[in-house]
Structure 1
């Protein structure tokens, strides 16, 4: 399932076999790509000319024009929804000095060293949790001032892994 937010309106998009569901209801549409970022949708016999203006993968937003009206669409996938459900949607936001474990798990690898300069989005370490490998990314530019995570160590949610 994915969740899209357009202004104050929220939409849940899911797929069951060969059918799409929009807010739990069957949703039939026809889509044609007509050029660089141009899409043409036909929904319930109504035409929508859409142009993708920009995509921000980090913030998971898409700026589009639909019939010449601009919209910003925020998209959340299954992982984003799970993190929100677990109360961890703000993990790794900019400005934090400590990077904490978002969930209990096992440190599989530490990818940085004390004193190393890092940039926002750099991979810091790999945490195995719920049988999945999770890459913990740097929340902001900085220098690793302390490294508390040790390869092979089990950590609890909220444990400080490193400081910038």
Structure 2
């Protein structure tokens, strides 16, 4: 189950059971077609929607979508996030980061921070090029850079530690 909040106001319960999806307990009977890696066409309740994934942060589960030209931001909580939240542990887990690892193999194009820098959540740390696409790796929380374990122009493997934090 996911709890999805849209524009920090509307909240939806989204569930998947095998190939079936439901939103707030109602079966989703729409049609979704992926047109390209970030573009989709959705038909739902006799309406057509053009959906573009503008930005997606898998770590924080936040996504910016453009639906028929209108920008929407979403945040999601999975069952583990909801469990931690119910135990009062969500803030403790989300605020402490020790390191940033490469999400995929690629080439480090540039590094935007130096050792000793304090970064805020969302600051770009470095740019990783993979499959001819530039991927800005951003800080998931506020932290101070302890060490940088790679350099521009170097190839990295998936899960390789790139930056360590204090």
Structure 2 equivalent of residue 31 of structure 1: 32
> How large is the RMSD of aligned CA atoms in angstroms?
3.0
Could you list the runs of 5+ residues in structure 1 that have no partner in the other structure?
A: 100-116, 121-137, 144-163
Q: Which residue of 1 aligns with 2:113?
A: none
Tell me how far apart the structure 2 counterparts of residues 27 and 52 of structure 1 sit (CA, whole Å).
20
Q: Would you say the 8 A contact 1:53–1:64 is kept in 2? A: yes
Deviation at 1:21, TM superposition (A): 1.2
1:110-145 residue CA offsets vs partner (Å, 9 max, x unmatched): xxxxxxx9x99xxxxxxxxxxxxxxxxx973366xx
Aligned pair in 2 of structure 1 residues 67, 140: CA closer, same or farther (>3 Å)? same
1:5 is matched with which residue?
5
Return the alpha-carbon distance in structure 2 between the equivalents of residues 93 and 14 of structure 1.
Answer: 24
In 2, Cα distance between equivalents of 1:51 and 1:142: 33
Aligned counterparts of 2:12 and 2:22: Cα–Cα separation in 1: 10
What are the equivalent positions in structure 2 for 1:6-155 lying under 5 Å apart? 6-7=6-7, 8-94=9-95, 140-141=143-144
Query: 1:52–1:65: 8 Å Cα contact kept in structure 2?
Result: yes
Following the alignment from structure 1 to structure 2, what is the Cα–Cα distance between the partners of residues 139 and 80?
20
Residues paired across the two proteins, number: 109
* SS at 1:80 equivalent: helix
Query: 2:19, 2:33 → 1: CA distance?
Result: 18
Change (3 A) 1:18 1:33: closer
| Structure 2 residue ranges without an equivalent (≥5) | 99-115, 120-140, 147-165
Q: Rg larger in 1 or in 2?
A: 1
Corresponding residue for residue 133 of structure 2: none
What is the TM-score of this pair, normalised by structure 1? 0.57
